[in-house]
Amino acid sequence: MTKTILITGSTDGIGLLTAKKLHQAGHRVLLHGRNAEKLTSVQQQMGGDVEGFVADLSSLDGTHQMAKAVLSKCARIDVLINNAGIFKTANPTLPSGQDIRFVVNTLAPYVLTRALLPVIPADGRILNLSSAAQAPVDTAAMAGGVAMDDMSAYAQSKLAITIWSQELAAELPDGPVVVAVNPGSLLASKMVKEGFGVEGHDLDIGADILIRLALDEEFASAPGRYWDNDAGMFNQPHSAAQNGNHRAAVMNTIQDITAGLEAWPGLRGLNTW
């Protein structure tokens, strides 16, 4: 059965390879990219019949607009893959004072997911890109105004998305399925090459597990779990994700940061924790 699948950050790396494979398999793939020219180039590479959305996910306003555009074109999204992420950049602090890693890796996918929930069916799936790199979240840093080194910000942002994946799954016991996934460590993405200076492992490792999680029946019931592709199985995330107080602090901070978004019609039901 043909699925409609939205993949953020799908103009390079794992996201692009996943999009190409799903498109070749006959699915309706919705691309996302930050750069309009690059997005157009990818659309042409894939035959010109693939829809795309331009948005800078370091801006929650930009994320709003993307969600609005998607909702205007799609009555149903079977799979949402929150793949876009950032590790290292020359200017990690946004004008708001927030670290770009928290905004792109944690907050934007949260906002986008909440906005699109009305068109994701109960048998749909939400895949959130986590990482083997996870660390307890400094909620003051997530809120902004605390300078962080690259690895700390990245690892904390990835635990934060893992935590809100757990919480969203608990809120949606009847579906859609929500899974946080480490697609594999040090895969040959642009982020890995620029951040670590290594070529990395075969990108197919990451793309193939995303496709399995998105489509295979074996994953039709895995709410709130964390897939560790390094181990090839569901695993426990960092122990801080099992701490109720820490989870609550993270979710309260996310709510506080996004509270002003409630008035936007597309984000109805945003703050329900």
* Residue-wise pLDDT tens digits, 148-165: 999 999 999 999 999 999
Say if residue 268's pLDDT is above 90.
no
- d(Cα 89, Cα 174) in Å, to the nearest integer? 39
Q: Which pairing describes strands 233-235 and 79-82: parallel, antiparallel, or unpaired? A: unpaired
How many Å apart are CA 148 and CA 250, to the nearest integer? 17
Per residue in 108-118, pLDDT (tens digit) is: 999 999 999 99
Q: Where would I find the H helices in 31-172?
A: 36-45, 60-73, 100-102, 108-116, 139-143, 150-171
* pLDDT tens, residue by residue, 63-90: 989 999 999 999 999 999 999 999 988 8
Q: Please give the pLDDT value at position 221.
A: 87
Q: What is the CA radius of gyration of the chain?
A: 17
pLDDT at 19: 98
Q: Catalogue all structural domains in the chain, each as residue range(s) with its CATH number.
A: 4-267 (3.40.50.720)
Q: In sequence order, what are the residues at sequence separation of 6 or more whose Cβ sits closer than 8 angstroms to the Cβ of residue 37?
A: none
pLDDT, position 196: 52
Distance between CA atoms of 53 and 42, rounded to whole angstroms? 12
pLDDT reading at 32 higher than 90? yes
Task: Name residue 248's amino acid.
Answer: A
| pLDDT tier, 144 (very low <50, low <70, confident <90, very high otherwise) | very high
47: number of Cβ within 10 Å: 9
In tens, the pLDDT along 181-190 reads: 999 775 545 5
pLDDT of 266: 44
| Tokens (6 digits) for 165 | 């994946």
Centre a 10 Å sphere on the Cβ of residue 87 and count the other Cβ atoms it contains: 24
The residue annotated as part of the active site, out of 154, 164, 219, 227, is 154
Counting Cα atoms < 13 Å in the Cβ hemisphere of 47 gives 10
DSSP 192: H
Distance CA 242, CA 235 (A): 12
What is the structure's pLDDT at 30?
98
What is the pLDDT at residue 258?
A: 85
Give the residues across from 127 on adjacent strands: 81, 179
Contacts of residues 206-211 at CB distance under 8 Å and 24 or more positions apart, as own/partner, are: 206/14, 206/17, 206/18, 207/14, 207/17, 207/18, 207/21, 207/183, 208/21, 209/181, 209/183, 209/184, 210/14, 210/18, 210/81, 210/83, 210/127, 210/181, 210/183, 211/18, 211/21, 211/22
Active site includes 154? Answer: yes
What is the reported pLDDT for 159? 98
Nearest to 18, CA basis, from 27, 176, 228, 39: 27
- pLDDT (mean) for 188-201: 53
pLDDT band for position 174 (cuts 50, 70, 90): very high
Distance CA 29, CA 130 (A): 21
CA distances from 13 to 207, 221, 226, 250 (A): 9, 28, 21, 29
pTM flag (> 0.95): no
> For residues 270 and 88, which has the higher predicted lDDT (pLDDT)?
88
Q: For the segment 244-263, what is each residue's pLDDT rounded down to a tens digit?
A: 999 999 999 999 998 766 44
CA dihedral 33, 36, 40, 45 (to 10 degrees): -50
